[in-house]
């Protein structure tokens, strides 16, 4: 019997709202959450906008010790895990009082059959930078003074702490890992989790992505290569994928955690199933650490392999969630990839980029977009590309400008591109679609 | 379908190639020495397993020098060696049939510290244009795939020391799904001032300043571990594909398992990971001829590992190797190097010794290979690894 992975629970923290519900409301309203950076003074920097989360860890139930021990990136992941587990019905909860200390966790055999795979690109970069500033005395000393380091600095150093915190909070005892392929981490971690379910290493996977990169060093990294937008006058319209006036990406932050479950396991307990993940693939472009070739060849290959694995034809894909980071290089790269992989049907499929609304949260966004895709299937609504008013003539697909759209969706595709040359694609589908395909075959 | 290892590239504190490493390890030659890259007088830790004699200018293309941390340069050199040993490179197989999956933990932290200093000392305009990917957990996978034109799956896993085995498992999964060749393993290290300060903050480093007394896993005198740098890159291939192209196999990745348990001093996750790996390999405990231990060098964690080994194999039921006593702990490079050790032991039918630990002071429940190499039939080796926070992974390597 082929083992299949389905989504049975979700938790989201995105700019503009904490929780899956406000996230979806925001997307379908076409509202944007990009704003002038408030975490530090952005005035000296080239880019001055970001999509920040208004996140209060204490209000989300984290204890003072949790808050000290965990960087923001782990706090996001743990709070989302509580929402996702409660949503899945695997643990009691969802009464508005989650949090780590008192929250319900998995127990017994279920716990040992539950694994964790969390996507993340830049680890606890906020804490690593602020600790660096302290131990180096503001960047003065090369020989930093370890005596000024925070007691949990080693935990901040390890991106795997995110997976450890999630597994500990959930009581999961199966295989655990962080998957860190830059900006495709959020897709690749979910793919990794699906593989563990399929091969039988776990029945349940707590997976997704988390990143909290709105920090001076991350901003500087993107500023020096002019990847981020320099426009500061209208922060709400800062990220404009597929628009002729686009000016670069806008950093974001947040997390999405999914409960993935083996299909029969989910059916036996009568769980609500948002979607199946029937196919996925990643490919390297082996071209450049940050550059993309305009032909989108490797992304097209990843899409083709993902569709084959899902046993779906391009015509069955009702929506494509684009990487849509807001750079010209990306927009042309993926537009070409969609045409190569989907053929003439590429012109018929609505394609949208939600980074226009929630920014680019690096290793988290792939999972936030998977959550958006699952919600699109659930509600039969395609979220729009915000800020798209002057289409780039070189990007000639249907990018769903500004307004959400109702659509008949049985299967959707999401893609991502990451530094290092990573190109990933993942398909979500109504599990009954695969059932029908199989009975027809 | 089975996964074999056809190439091995080692970058270790006691050897810059797999043969040099193996010779040194069998001789008990340690790579632990005082840190000579910066002044350690202000730190309570002065020893580490540094990779010495590595000349990146000779091994890494000029173009890549300004954009890479030392750790990535070592990874590129180890990947070159592994691919040369496997007789593989661009064009060996179709481009999408070769992928890369490495373990990571520290990223290019020394590079990162330098750029943080520029940012905070001078301003963002002074930060390197390569910073966005040089201090980046995915850097080694990306750079290796680019250098060798490998367009198949790319992967990066992080679970501290356990990551080295998790990367191998990831590679095997891709091979099973149809990518015949994967470059895998891990090379890691952060022996810069900030990296040392971070590891000191863990409270787990040994503060002994004599190399013979510092990192003494399973010994009653255990007082912490020493950090190190390096690791191993391996070429993993689907057996029949490797046979078709005439690449000899050094061993098979026959089993893997992983588990998580955050309770300090708990043996549970290690036992579950090892049992899963044994079951996956189709072996009972008595089919294992040697174990390469995780060897935390902390009293409680050593105790937990000894508990696990006793539960799995009975008292003194299997020879236990601790080559890490000569290298320190290499973050995500550690278990990759231990895997290389296992493959070399399978090849030469000899187990490497641990140094510095004393037979009369070590846990009597363990049959530790100490002082001298031990010649013995070696058909299957279990490699154990734990990652800080509760991660445990296990792999079984067998003769090809």
Nearest to A419 among B117, B132, B262 (CB): B132
Nearest to B48 by CA among B37, B36, B34, B38: B34
Beta-carbon separation of A227 and B132 below 8 A? yes
Does one domain contain both B276 and B211? Answer: no
pLDDT classification of A96: cutoffs 50, 70, 90:
very low
For B163, nearest residue in chain A (alpha carbons): A177
Q: Which helix (H) or strand (E) holds B82?
A: helix B70-86
Q: Which of A115, A221, A290 sits opposite B127 (nearest CB)?
A: A221
CB contact under 8 A, A158 and B196: no
- Contact between B107 and A123 using a beta-carbon 8 Å cutoff: yes
Percent of chain A at pLDDT above 70? 96
Distance CA A406, CA A379 (A): 8
Asked if A118 and A207 count as a contact pair (C-beta separation under 8 A), the reply is yes
Is B212 in the same domain as B138?
A: yes
How sure is the predictor about A98, in pLDDT bands with cuts at 50, 70 and 90? very low
Given A53, A80, A183, A194, the catalytic residue: A183
- Tens of pLDDT, residue by residue over B364-374, are 999 999 999 99
* Residue B322 and residue B246 share a domain: no
Residue of A nearest to B391 (CA): A176
The residue count of chain B comes to 400
Cα-flanking dihedrals φ and ψ of residue B82, to 5°? -65, -45
Give residue A110's pLDDT band: very low, low, confident or very high (50, 70, 90): confident
Residue A146 has its nearest CB partner, among B120, B163, B197, at B197
Give the length of chain A: 441
Q: What is the pLDDT of residue B281?
A: 98
B162 and B214 housed in the same domain: yes
How far apart are alpha carbons A423 and A210 in whole angstroms?
A: 19
∠ at Cα B129 (B123, B132), nearest 5°?
Answer: 95
Q: Could you tell me the pTM of the whole model? A: 0.98
Q: Determine the distance in angstroms separating the CA of A352 from the nearest CA of chain B, rounded to an integer.
A: 25
Averaged pLDDT for residues A222-241 = 97
Quick: pLDDT tens for A73-95.
Answer: 999 999 999 999 999 999 975 44
Do the beta carbons of residue A299 and residue A393 sit within 8 Å? no
* Cross-chain residue pair A201–B258, CB shorter than 8 Å: yes
Q: Min CA distance, A381 vs chain B (Å)?
A: 32
Q: Is the dihedral of CA A39, A41, A47, A49 positive or negative?
A: positive
Mean pLDDT score of chain A, rounded to an integer? 95
Share of chain A above pLDDT 90, in %: 93
**pLDDT reported for residue A283:** 98
Taking CA atoms, what residue in A is nearest to B122?
A139
Q: Which of A286, A327, A417 to mutate to test the interface with B (most CBs of B within 10 A)?
A: A286
Residues B206 and B294 reside in one and the same domain: no
Percent of chain B at pLDDT exceeding 90: 99
Report the residue of A41, A180, A223, A291 to disrupt the B interface, i.e. the one with the largest count of B CBs within 10 Å. Answer: A180
Average pLDDT of span A240-261:
98
Give the distance from CA A222 to its chain's centroid. Answer: 19
- Are B137 and A121 inside 8 Å of each other by CB? yes
- What pLDDT sits at residue B265? 84
- Judging contacts by C-beta atoms under 8 Å, the chain B residues touching residue A225 are 129, 132
A164 chain-B contacts, CB cut-off 8 A: 260, 262, 387-391
Provide the pLDDT confidence category of residue B339 given band limits of 50, 70 and 90. very high
User: Of the candidates B155, B201, B269, which has its C-beta nearest A149's C-beta?
Assistant: B201
Cβ within 8 Å, pair A164-B116: no
B211 and B290 co-located in one domain: no
What's the mean per-residue pLDDT of chain B?
Answer: 97
In angstroms, what separates the C-alpha of B188 from chain A's closest C-alpha? 12
Asked if the Cβ–Cβ distance from B146 to A283 is below 8 Å, we say no
Nearest CA in chain A to B39: A143
**Chain B nearest C-alpha distance from A206 (Å):** 13
Q: Are residues B232 and B266 in the same domain?
A: no
**Which chain B residue is nearest to residue A167, measuring alpha carbons?**
B260
Q: Which residue of A has its CA nearest to B117?
A: A139
Question: Could you read off the pLDDT of A287-343 as tens digits, one per residue?
Answer: 999 999 999 999 999 999 999 999 999 999 999 999 999 999 999 999 999 999 999
pLDDT of residue B389: 97
Query: What angle separates helix B268-281 from helix B299-313, to the nearest 10 degrees?
Result: 40
Task: Choose among B39, B158, B201: nearest Cβ to A178.
Answer: B158
Q: Which residues pair with B101 in a beta bridge?
A: B155, B184
| Residue A360: active-site member | yes
How much is the pLDDT for A103?
60
Which tens digit of pLDDT belongs to each residue from B54-109?
Answer: 999 999 999 999 999 999 999 999 999 999 999 999 999 999 999 999 999 999 99
Q: What order of strands is seen across the sheet that includes strand A251-252?
A: A35-36, A49-51, A251-252
pLDDT at A68 over 80: yes
Q: Which of A195, A179, A177, A176 shows the shortest CA–CA distance to A187?
A: A179
Q: How far is B358 from chain A (nearest CA, A)?
A: 30
Same domain, B72 and B192: yes
DSSP string, B48-78: EE---S--HHHHS-GGGSTT--HHHHHHHHH
**How do residues B215-247 score in pLDDT, each as one tens digit?**
999 999 999 999 999 999 999 999 999 999 999
Q: Which of B191, B194, B260 to mutate to test the interface with A (most CBs of A within 10 A)?
A: B260
pLDDT at A420 over 90: yes
Contact criterion met (CB < 8 Å) for A301 and B151: yes
Q: Which residues of B touch A287 (CB under 8 A)?
A: 146
- pLDDT reading at A100 higher than 60: no
Any catalytic annotation for residue A183?
A: yes
> Inter-chain contact A146–B170, Cβ cutoff 8 Å?
no
Point out the domain boundary residue: B251, B279, B307: B251
Is the pLDDT score of A107 beyond 90? no
All residues of chain A having their beta carbon less than 8 Å from the beta carbon of residue B390 are 164, 167-168, 176
Confidence class of residue A101 from pLDDT cuts 50, 70 and 90? very low
CATH number, domain with residue B320: 3.40.47.10
Domain-terminating residue out of B202, B231, B251: B251
Which two tokens mark A62?
Answer: 């984290």
Reduced DSSP (H G I as helix, E B as strand, rest coil) percent helix, strand, coil of chain B, to 5: 40, 25, 40
Give whole-number Cα distances, A240 to A222, A328, B148, in Å.
Answer: 17, 10, 35
> Based on the domain organization, do B160 and B266 belong to the same domain?
no
Do the Cβ atoms of A301 and B96 come within 8 Å?
A: yes
Residues B86 and B225 in one domain: yes
Give the mean pLDDT of A137-144.
98
Which of A323, A333, A373, A395 is catalytic? The answer is: A323
* pLDDT for the residue numbered A273: 98
Interface A-B, measured as beta-carbon pairs within 8 A, has a size of: 273
Q: A439 pLDDT band (50/70/90 cuts)? A: low
pLDDT at A106: 86
Cβ burial A372-408 (10 Å sphere, 16+ → b, else e): bbbbbbbeebbbbbbbbeeebeebebbbbbeebbeee
Lowest pLDDT segment from A96-105, A115-124, B344-353? A96-105
A62, A72, A56: which is closest to A127 by C-alpha? A72
CA distance A32 to A16: 8
With CA atoms as reference, report the closest residue to A213 among A125, A119, A133.
A125
DSSP string, A128-174: HHHHHHHHTTTTT-SS--GGGS-TTHHHHH-THHHHHHHHHHHT--S
Identify whether residues B123 and B239 lie together within a single domain: yes
In the DSSP assignment, the letter for residue A385 is: B
SS3 content of chain A, % helix, strand, coil (to 5): 40, 20, 40
Are A145 and B197 an interchain contact pair (Cβ–Cβ within 8 Å)?
yes
Q: Which of B272, B238, B273 is nearest to B252 (CA)?
A: B238
Cross-chain Cβ contact B146/A153 below 8 Å: no
Could you tell me what percent of chain B has a pLDDT over 70? 100
Nearest Cα residue to A37 out of A298, A220, A181: A220
* Dist. CA B383–CA B290, nearest whole Å: 9
Asked if residues A153 and A129 have their Cβ atoms less than 8 Å apart, the reply is no
Closest chain A residue to B273 measured between Cα atoms? A175
Helices and strands in chain A, H and E counts: 15, 16
Nearest neighbour of B137 by CB, restricted to A123, A172, A287? A123
Beta strand B251-260 pairing with B32-34: unpaired
Neighbours of A151 (CB within 10 A): 11
Instruction: Determine whether A239 is an active site residue.
Output: no
Instruction: Tell me: do B77 and B219 sit in the same domain.
Output: yes
Name which of B154, B202, B261 is nearest A284 (Cβ-Cβ): B154
Domain stop point among B233, B251, B269: B251
Residue B325 domain boundaries:
255-398
Q: What does the pLDDT look like over B157-216, one tens digit per residue?
A: 999 999 999 999 999 999 999 999 999 999 999 999 999 999 999 999 999 999 999 999
Q: Which tens digit of pLDDT belongs to each residue from B109-126?
A: 999 999 999 999 999 999
Give me the number of domains chain B comprises: 2
Minimal C-alpha gap between B172 and chain A (Å): 12
- B50, B14 contact by CB (below 8 A): no
Chain B residues touching residue A154 (CB < 8 angstroms): 198-199, 201-202, 204, 388
Exposure string (b/e) for B292-320, b if CB count within 10 Å is 16 or more?
A: bbbbbbbbebbbbbbbbbbbbbeeebbbb
| pLDDT confidence bin for A97, thresholds 50/70/90 | very low
Mutate: best of B114, B201, B225, partner A, most A CBs <10 A: B201
Q: C-alpha distances in angstroms, A278 versus A123, A164, A189, A195, A310?
A: 29, 27, 15, 11, 5
With CA atoms as reference, the chain A residue closest to B42 would be A145
Q: Lowest-confidence range among A29-38, A106-115, A255-264, A362-371?
A: A106-115
């Amino acid at each position: 019997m082929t083992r299949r992975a389905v989504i049975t629970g979700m938790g989201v923290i995105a700019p503009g709202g904490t929780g899956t519900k406000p996230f979806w409301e925001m997307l379908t309203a076409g509202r944007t959450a990009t704003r002038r950076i408030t975490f530090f003074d952005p005035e000296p920097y080239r880019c001055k906008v970001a999509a920040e989360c208004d996140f209060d860890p204490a209000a989300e139930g984290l204890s003072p010790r949790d808050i000290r021990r965990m960087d923001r990136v782990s706090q996001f992941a743990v709070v989302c895990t509580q929402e996702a587990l409660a949503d899945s019905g695997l643990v009691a909860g969802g009464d508005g009082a989650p949090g780590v200390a008192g929250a319900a966790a998995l127990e017994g055999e279920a716990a040992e059959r539950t694994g964790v795979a969390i996507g993340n690109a830049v680890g606890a970069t906020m804490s690593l930078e602020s600790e660096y500033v302290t131990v180096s005395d503001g960047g003065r000393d090369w020989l930093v003074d370890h005596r000024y380091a925070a007691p949990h600095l080693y935990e901040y150093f390890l991106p795997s702490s995110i997976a450890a915190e999630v597994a500990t909070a959930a009581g999961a005892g199966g295989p655990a890992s962080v998957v860190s392929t830059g900006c495709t981490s959020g897709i690749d971690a979910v793919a990794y989790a699906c593989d563990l379910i399929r091969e039988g290493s776990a029945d349940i996977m707590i997976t997704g992505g988390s990143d909290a990169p709105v920090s001076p060093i991350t901003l500087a990294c993107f500023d020096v290569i002019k990847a981020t937008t320099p426009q500061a006058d209208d922060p709400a319209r800062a990220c404009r994928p597929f628009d002729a006036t686009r000016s670069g990406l806008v950093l974001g932050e947040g997390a999405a955690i999914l409960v993935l479950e083996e299909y029969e396991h989910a059916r036996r307990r009568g769980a609500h199933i948002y979607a199946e993940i029937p196919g996925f693939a990643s490919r390297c472009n082996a071209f450049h650490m940050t550059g993309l070739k305009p032909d989108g060849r490797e992304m097209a290959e990843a899409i083709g392999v993902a569709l084959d694995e899902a046993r779906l034809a391009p015509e069955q894909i009702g929506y494509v969630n684009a990487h849509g980071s807001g750079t010209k290089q990306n927009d042309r790269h993926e537009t070409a990839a969609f045409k190569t992989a989907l053929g003439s049907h590429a012109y018929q499929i609505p394609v949208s980029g939600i980074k226009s609304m929630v920014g680019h949260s690096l290793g988290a966004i792939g999972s936030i977009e998977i959550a958006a895709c699952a919600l699109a299937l659930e509600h039969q609504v395609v979220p729009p590309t915000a800020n798209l008013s002057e289409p780039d003539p070189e990007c000639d697909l249907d990018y769903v400008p500004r307004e959400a759209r109702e659509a008949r969706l049985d299967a959707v595709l999401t893609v991502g591109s990451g530094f290092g040359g990573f190109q990933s694609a993942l398909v979500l589908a109504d599990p009954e679609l695969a059932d029908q395909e199989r009975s027809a075959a | 379908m089975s996964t074999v290892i056809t190439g091995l590239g080692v970058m270790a504190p006691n050897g810059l190639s797999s043969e040099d490493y193996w010779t040194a390890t069998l001789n008990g030659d340690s790579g632990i020495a005082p840190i000579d890259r910066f002044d350690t007088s202000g730190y309570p830790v002065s020893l580490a397993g540094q990779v010495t004699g590595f000349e990146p200018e000779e091994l890494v293309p000029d173009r890549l020098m300004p954009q890479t941390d030392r750790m990535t340069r070592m990874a590129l050199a180890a990947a070159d060696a592994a691919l040369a040993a496997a007789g593989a490179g661009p064009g060996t197989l179709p481009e999408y049939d070769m992928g890369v999956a490495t373990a990571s933990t520290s990223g290019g932290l020394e590079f990162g510290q330098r750029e943080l200093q520029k940012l905070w000392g001078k301003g963002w305009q002074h930060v390197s244009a390569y910073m966005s990917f040089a201090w980046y957990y995915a850097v080694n996978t990306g750079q290796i795939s680019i250098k060798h034109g490998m367009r198949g799956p790319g992967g990066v896993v992080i679970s501290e020391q356990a990551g080295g085995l998790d990367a191998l498992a990831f590679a095997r999964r891709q091979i099973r799904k149809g990518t015949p060749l994967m470059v895998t393993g891990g090379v890691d290290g952060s022996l810069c001032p900030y990296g040392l300060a971070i590891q000191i903050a863990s409270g787990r480093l040994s503060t002994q300043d004599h190399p013979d007394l510092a990192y003494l896993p399973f010994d009653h005198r255990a007082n912490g571990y020493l950090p190190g740098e390096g690791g191993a890159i391996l070429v993993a291939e689907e057996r029949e594909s490797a046979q078709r192209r005439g690449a000899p196999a050094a061993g098979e990745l026959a089993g893997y398992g992983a588990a998580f348990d955050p309770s300090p001093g708990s043996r549970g996750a290690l036992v579950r990971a090892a049992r899963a790996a044994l079951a996956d390999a189709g072996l009972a405990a008595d089919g294992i001829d040697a174990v390469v231990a995780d060897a935390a060098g902390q009293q409680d964690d050593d105790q937990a590992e000894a508990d696990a080994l006793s539960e799995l194999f009975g008292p003194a039921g299997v020879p236990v190797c601790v080559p890490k006593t000569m290298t320190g702990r290499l973050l995500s490079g550690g278990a990759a190097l231990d895997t290389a050790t296992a493959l070399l032991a399978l090849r030469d039918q000899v187990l490497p010794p641990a140094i510095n630990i004393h037979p009369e002071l070590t846990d009597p429940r363990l049959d530790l290979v100490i002082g001298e190499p031990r010649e013995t039939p070696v058909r299957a080796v279990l490699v154990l690894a734990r990652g800080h926070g509760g991660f445990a992974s296990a792999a079984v390597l067998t003769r090809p």
